[in-house]
Structure 1
Amino acid sequence: MAGDQFLQARKLHAQNIRESSHWLFQYFMIAVGLSILAAATRAVPYGPLYYFGIPIFLVFFVAPPLFLRGPHHHVRRVFLLIIGLFLLSITGLSFLGLASAGWLILLTTPIIAVALVGRRAAYLTLAASLLISITLGYLHSAGHLQTTIASYGHYVENSRNWMIMSLALMFSGIACIILTEHLRTQWETSNIALYQQHDQMLALVEYAPEAILIYDMDQKSFVTSNSRVERILGYSREELLEKIAPKNLSPPLQPDGQDSSKTASRYMQQALKGEFPVFEWQLKGKSGTLLDCEVSLARLPPFDRRLIRASVVEISARKAEREERAKIQQQLATSQKLEAVGKLTGGVAHDFNNLLAVTLGNLELLRDEINDPDQKKLIDKSIAATLRGSDLTRNMLAFARKASLAPSPIDINQVVRETKNWISRTLPTTITVNTSLLDELWQVEADPSATESALLNLILNAQDAMPKGGKLTIETANMVIDDSYIDLRHEELPPGRYVMLAVSDTGEGIPPEILSEIFEPFYSTKAPGDNSGLGLSMVHGFMRQSIGTVQVYSEQGIGTTFKLFFKAAANPDEPDLKPERETNAPQHDAGRILLAEDDVGVLEVLVKTLTAAGYAVTAATSGDRAKEIYESDPEFDLLITDVVMPGTLLGPGLATELRAQRAGFPVIFMSGYASEASLHGNGLQPDDVRLMKPVQRTDLLNAIWKLLR
């Protein structure tokens, strides 16, 4: 690694020398050109220099930069430059002698050689300079050369003066070579150290576990990024530095609702002031995926520029793990709370029931001994209050799953009929009660009194949800639960036969944020004193104690459905029923289906189910989007749609819009509500196919097959 860095530094150093030599060539070309022009203005004493200097200047100073371009011609250009300087110095010394500036040129050539080529070349150049000076000194002293300056002739012809100048040239040249070589070595060493440090810093940034970006607030663009940024965001380094604006890396709003641009600007201003803000931030990758990240900002030098370093760590997995841990802790706390409340309510209820039994018995005995009507009324009120207390303790025991149940075979349809007969007289006239009871409903093993109490609780809740009136629907159905059910909203049920009792209303609906809390004990949205808050808790406890479950499906402004699943009683004379499999399995390429479902989980399961059955499925998460898809490509054979979806078009409205474009277009409606309740005010036609969630795969595929047949 160190050797590679050294070689890289040497290469960069050589490149810097080549770049410096380019400007040095330009300098000498201009300097020599100006010298020749100056000589031309004084053509009498310097006439011969003018005629010799122009060709030398053109050949050795002007031509190389024009014809020898590129780094591979570097040595040739240096060689020609030194030859040109030698020729100019020889020309000057030949005609002017010791008065010529050629001495300075001879001293300059070793300096150029050591700087651009090396010490060995510099000493060879110095030797050549000494040889030239001694040779020209001999020629002048012997009278073979005559200086053009007559008054200076006697000084030039003295060989001793030439020897002194040559010795001065030698010692000055050696000193200049040593000094320049020392400076060159220092420069190279410092450059290598600088390059090594630079490479180390680049390695720290490049191989950092977090993504690092440097943003220039003046240029409003990124100036540096590492490879981790590309892996996290999907953008290449070139895209980030040249094309991508910072605002494109974040959605318009953060999860907490803050404006991304304003919030990011505030954090960067904090960094400019010397602070180190650390915050969670949602970034948007190249594919549009939103990523949960932790970002830290800091200002970087030089401080005459406004550079901000952003370190980004993706925390999606960490956040999911944190949320999962919090969820588990919450479930544990809830479980412990329910266990504690269950033990408390169970113990209190049993003891309180004993007290109420004594109180009720004594009141009834006392009533038989009293003849005063007014006193009897007071006793009757006390007996009624005692009975209400008994109902409360029974609810508490049901919630604690410690109620003494007496299961027996019962017909849920009969329970519904009896309850409807007397409850209809107590409900407001603005509420219409309808029933849809399945013939040949299976019997269940359950406590008759607790079952009636659970149904009554659900009916009273439905009444409270419809203060201005509405429609209440009670429905029963036989269901076989197995792994083929397509639904993600309900609790897990052991496979087997169940009887479903559904109570639906067209009321206000339950807000999603409290939907998970409605079965908790003493939780209520009603005013204090209106109820005990144990109604739904009692229903939930009773169903779990009866080896069943309760589910809820609600949409605000549409209504709510509670479904009670009772385990069907075993009938020794009846064979064990298995889920009926589709007898008319569709073939591949059986048709194109347009699917509209707002729940992503349910949508994924439906797409997989239909695709596996051979259908070509196009999915949409809203009625509006499904309409857009149909209008762009109407070649669909069937529409499957949820009844309630976000947007302007609900399921029935979507069906109406598509049927206006294509009469008789087959539609299957799916809903979490009871099928009769889903008709209310929604515009569904009585002959439309309606499936209530959870939907068995067999039922769905058979319904599709019958419609397409």
Structure 2
Amino acid sequence: MFKGDEMAGDHILQARKVHAKNIRESSNWLFYYFMIAVGLSICAAATRAIPYGPLYYIGLPIFLIFFVAPPLIFSGTKHHAKRVVLLILGLFLLSITGLVFLGIASAAWIILLTTPIVSVVLLGRRAAYVTLAISLILSISLGYMHSAGHLHSNITNYEDYIGNWRNWMVMTLALLFCGLACINLTEHLRHQWELSNIALYQQHDQMHALVEYAPEAILIYDMDLMVFITSNSRAEKILGYPPEELTGRTLPREISPEYQTDGQRSEDAISAYLQQALSGEFPVFEWQFVSKEGEILECEISLARLPPFDRKLIRASVVEISARKTEILERAKIQQQLATSQKLEAVGKLTGGVAHDFNNLLAVTLGNLELLKDEIENLQHKQLIDKSIAATLRGSDLTRNMLAFARKASLEPSPIDINSVVEETKNWISRTLPATIEVKTSLGDGIWPVEADPSATESALLNLILNAQDAMPKGGKLTVETANVKIDDSYIDARQEELPPGQYVMLAVSDTGDGIPPEFIAEVFEPFFSTKASGSNSGLGLSMVHGFMRQSNGTVQVYSEPGVGTTFKLFFKAATQTTECAPQPEAQSDVSHGAGHRILLAEDDDAVREVLVKTLENAGYDVIAAPSGDAAKAIFEADPSFDLVITDIVMPGRLLGTTLSAELRLLAPDLPIIFMSGYASEATVHGNGLRPEDIRLMKPVQRAKLIGAIQKILGQ
């Protein structure tokens, strides 16, 4: 036997069990029907109670004992067989009573015909044939007793008719044929009913399997009741609600945010989509749900109306697309990066080719001008030639910058001191900048020498200073800073360009201008990109700085906060012998130093906050983190027992890092505080009144440096 046949047999067996159960459950109604029918018959017979009193007084107890009492005493499906036996026995006793007292003129014939019908419905065909045989035996026996004079009917006018044996035989034969016909007809109807139940059960089972094992979440919504009436296990997996919580009482708006991503109210939007489905359309749309845990889920929903069409049933197929949308965004990001890379490569090749050819043309022009100058005696003509030579040299500088952008410049690197470059630049740049811009320098001690082209380095610094000037049209503070830094092997810059580990010298230029909008940060180094007015610059300055730094085995980074300022950091590979050595392993802090010290951390970036908390907890500190200065103040006011506060300088809300420190020190004057920022440290603290003992760290901060700063400020 095939597996499918076995499954079909199981379905049929299950359907028959359900059918039998339905019969048992409906038998109560059948008993009550017979109670009413027989009760009315006895009431009708009561009109003959005076002449036929014994019939009435015997039939009434039979009715009460076998029809009224069993449903009341033997309630429930487990007493089904008892009630059926008592019912059939009561029918036989009533029939016998009627035939004994009234003979062939009694209506008991109808009751005898009823017993096989009741038996075939409640007990089956075999039981029906048994009851029919008993009915025939009773008919023949009572007919013989009446015709032989052993029984006498109370109907005196029909004594001869009732005592005629032939009449009894005719009624018996009629009972036989009618009984057989009724049994077969009832059995046929019962069989058809059973087959219909089997078909309905199989159809229900198939529909249940289609819904339950569908790969998407299936929800059926009743628009009249305004509730879900069906949900499958996939819906529970996606939304987190079990069927008993989702069906029967949940409205779509109860598991959706108030507004969707397009700005529409969820209640208005879903009503419109349901009306479309009700009119025969098949709307497909993206939708946000709120899971039981409160998580926002990105889903795609398709709606369709279900039969029967006298009800307003809408089927919703729900597919979660959060992962798909994330994948699409990641793919688009990768494609954008690839396109940018290809564009930069193409522009670089074109620029390199044009610059080289143009440089050759300039060489010819410059040589000819110098030769011509030797042949000319006229002073005015020589002055014209000198101007042409100067213009040619400026063109040469332009091509050199273009080659630097294309990373193909023939640079002449030599050991240079970045501090000297900054000091020389400051000496002359201060005289050219507006008086409204205050220039400060913060030069580190013991700066390592670097291998770089001096002219290109000065040009890169000049570009950054001019950019800072343009960012502060109303004046401000410009800070140039240098520092020695170590890069470990896990460092990758903001443009996904890996920087080899080693020792680097950082040159940072910071301003207090309006800052760069976050959406433009990724584009500032692209050629011809500019946020300035059209015609005010070429948009190649930062591109050339970026090309020069990559060609010099370094990189450039940008940090900016709108309304606060911008910092550009150049990282030059150090020229010391330790440059080629593997980076020293990070010093492992003794976690015992952190035992018993509580730190309040204020950091708005979720990813940075998570890393800092984990780092500090691994070092043995008890850390409480806050996503803003306002939240940190509330935590401190509730529990001022913290030993140290570490705060970012620029955060959302009313309190920045500097203002947070001022307000906390009103509560705890000696509270130690460490400040962190993505800006050059001097540029972020102009005029903020911080204490000299406060420690300022620039992001990214290595673990050893952070733990060392904590131990230093806590005196560990």
Superposition TM-score tier, normalisation by shorter sequence? over 0.9
Output aligned runs, 1:325-340, within 5 Å. Answer: 325-340=331-346
Instruction: Write the distance in 1 (CA, Å) between the matches of 2:587 and 2:634.
Output: 35
Q: 1:241: how far off?
A: 0.9
Gaps of 5+ in 1: none
Give, in whole Å, the separation in 2 of the partners of 1:34 and 1:635. 90
Do residues 612 (structure 1) and 612 (structure 2) align? no
Identify the match of residue 411 of structure 2 among 398, 405, 412.
405
Query: Residue 496 of structure 1 aligns to which amino acid in structure 2?
Result: G
Give me the whole-angstrom Cα distance separating, in 1, the residues matched to 2:406 and 2:679: 29
1:162 counterpart (163, 168, 172): 168
Corresponding position of 2:92 = 86
| 8 Å CA contact 1:638, 1:665 repeated in 2 | yes
1:153 and 2:159 are equivalent in the alignment: yes
Comparing 470-479 and 144-153, the one that deviates more: 144-153
- The 3 A distance-change label for structure 1 pair 452 and 255 is farther
Opposite residue 706 of structure 1, the aligned amino acid is: K
Indicate yes or no: 2:186 matched with 1:180. yes
TM-fit CA distance, 1:458 = 0.9
Within the candidate set 3, 7, 10, 2:13 is matched to 7
TM-score w.r.t. structure 2 length? 0.93
- Measured after TM superposition, the shift of residue 562 of structure 1 is 0.9
CA distance in 2, matches of 1:51, 1:61: 16
Task: Name the CA distance, whole Å, in 2 between partners of 1:447 and 1:533.
Answer: 23
CA contact 1:268–1:297 (8 Å) conserved in 2: yes
Q: What is the CA distance between 1:580 and its match in structure 2?
A: 6.1
CA-CA distance at 1:182 after TM superposition: 0.8
Which AA in structure 2 matches 1:521? Answer: P
1:54 paired residue among 47, 55, 60 = 60
Once the two structures are superposed, the pairs formed by residues 164-313 of structure 1 within 5 Å of their partners are 164-313=170-319
Q: Which of 687, 694, 708 does residue 702 from structure 1 map onto? A: 708
Q: CA deviation at 1:334?
A: 1.8
| Alpha-carbon offset, residue 660 of structure 1 | 3.3
Find out whether 1:97 has 2:103 as its counterpart.
yes
Q: Percentage identity across aligned positions?
A: 74
Secondary structure in 1 matching 2:92: helix
- Matched position secondary structure for 1:44: coil
- 2 CA distance for matches of 1:286 and 1:523? 46
- What amino acid is aligned across from residue 279 of structure 1 in structure 2? F
**Aligned equivalents of 1:384 and 1:275: distance in 2?**
75
* Change in 2 beyond 3 A, CA 1:259/1:370: farther
Post-superposition offset of 1:14:
1.1
Q: CA 1:663 to 1:56, structure 2 compared with 1: closer, same or farther past 3 Å?
A: farther
The residue number in structure 1 matching 2:4 is none
Give the aligned partner of residue 601 of structure 1. Answer: 607
**Equivalent in 33, 43, 53 of residue 39 of structure 2:** 33
Q: Please give the alpha-carbon distance, in whole angstroms, between the structure 2 residues aligned to 1:298 and 1:557.
A: 51
Please identify, of 478-487 and 640-649, the stretch whose mean Cα deviation from structure 2 is larger. Answer: 478-487
1:549 is aligned, of 537, 555, 560, to: 555
- CA spacing shift, 1:384–1:309, aligned 2, 3 Å: farther
- Work out whether residues 267 and 277 of structure 1, in 8 Å CA contact, stay in contact via their aligned partners in 2: yes
Tell me which of 567, 571, 581 is aligned to 1:565: 571
Give the 3-state SS of the residue equivalent to 2:64 in structure 1.
helix
After superposition, residues 490-529 of structure 1 pair within 5 angstroms as 491-529=497-535
Q: How does 1:262-661 map to 2 (within 5 A)?
A: 262-362=268-368, 369=376, 385-483=391-489, 491-571=497-577, 578=584, 581=587, 585-587=591-593, 589-661=595-667
1:577/1:194 CA distance change after superposition, 3 Å? closer
Q: Relative to structure 2, which stretch is displaced further, 500-509 or 273-282?
A: 273-282
Shift of the 295–583 alpha-carbon distance from structure 1 to 2, 3 Å rule, reads closer
Between stretches 198-207 and 151-160, larger displacement belongs to 151-160
**Deviation at residue 323 of structure 1 after TM alignment:** 2.6
Amino acid in the other structure paired with 2:670: G
Counterpart residue number, 1:691: 697
Aligned residue for 1:143?
Answer: 149
Deviation at 1:316? Answer: 2.8
Task: Indicate if the aligned counterparts of 2:488 and 2:583 stay in contact, CA closer than 8 A.
Answer: no
Aligned residues: 708
Distance 1:189 1:155, change over 3 A: same
- Deviation by residue 1:491-541 (Cα, 9 ceiling, x = unmatched): 532211111111111111111112111111111112232211111111111
Q: Is residue 232–residue 314 contact of structure 1 (8 Å, CA) maintained in 2?
A: yes
| Alpha-carbon distance in structure 1 between the residues aligned to 2:99 and 2:442 | 124
Q: Is the 8 A contact 2:419 2:447 kept in 1?
A: yes
Write the distance in 2 (CA, Å) between the matches of 1:298 and 1:119. 46
Q: In the alignment, which residue of structure 2 is the partner of 1:68?
A: 74
Cα distance in 2 for partners of 1:67, 1:660 equals 84
- Matched AA of 1:598: D
Distance 1:48 1:573 in 2: 126
Counterpart of 2:419 in structure 1: which amino acid? N
The residue number in structure 2 matching 1:126 is 132
Kept in 2: contact 1:487–1:694 (CA 8 A): no
- 1:248 CA displacement: 3.1
Letter in 2 for 1:443: P
CA contact (8 A) 1:488 1:602 kept: no
CA distance in 1, matches of 2:366, 2:263: 59
Pair 681,642 (structure 1): closer, same or farther in 2 beyond 3 Å:
same
Hey, what's the Cα distance between the residues in 1 that align with 2:533 and 2:387? 24
Q: Which residue of 1 aligns with 2:3?
A: none
Aligned to 2:22: 16
* SS, match of residue 480 in structure 2: strand
8 Å CA contact 2:573–2:579 kept in 1: the answer is: no
